[in-house]
Amino acid sequence: MNLCIIGIGSNINPEANIRRMLCLLSKDHRVGRHSSWVKTAPIGITDQDDFVNGAVRVETQHDIDEFKNYLKNLEDKMGRDRTLPKFGPRVIDLDIVVWNGEIVDEDYYTRDFLRNSVDQLLV
């Protein structure tokens, strides 16, 4: 079993989409506790709604590459439009930040909101 922490973000109906994503994720994996949720200003393209960000602990039997693919498919299933600009609006954005105790996403070191969310789950 692999233990990971996923960073979560949404700025399109975020409360409903995050709730739906957690429900879908829990059908295939053991979902643990999540961090508190925080509103953050968008990065890059600032003419859009604020994001709701947080993190969740997940146990999975997938290896990291399989799980990344699973998360991408989950984003697609929820309607993520990959034709939008990189820093544009998102129905849901899911990134593996910690994998079996190792930080695997460099954004952890540069985005305070992500580090704070993840650190809540490392204790």
For the chain, 123 residues long, give each residue's pLDDT as a single digit of tens: 999 999 999 999 999 999 999 999 999 999 999 999 999 999 888 999 999 999 999 999 999 999 999 999 999 999 998 888 888 899 999 999 999 999 999 999 999 999 999 999 997
Domain 2-122 classification at class level: alpha beta
Cβ(78)–Cβ(92) below 8 Å: yes
How high is the pLDDT of residue 43?
87
With beta carbons less than 8 A apart as the criterion, state whether 98 and 4 touch: yes
Q: pTM score, two decimals? A: 0.94
- DSSP-assigned beta bridge partners for residue 102: 99
Residue type for position 10? S
Q: DSSP assignment of 60-89, as one string? A: ESS-HHHHHHHHHHHHHHTT--TTS-TTS-
Using CB atoms within 10 Å of the CB of residue 85, give its burial: 0 to 12 exposed, 13 to 18 middle, 19+ buried. exposed
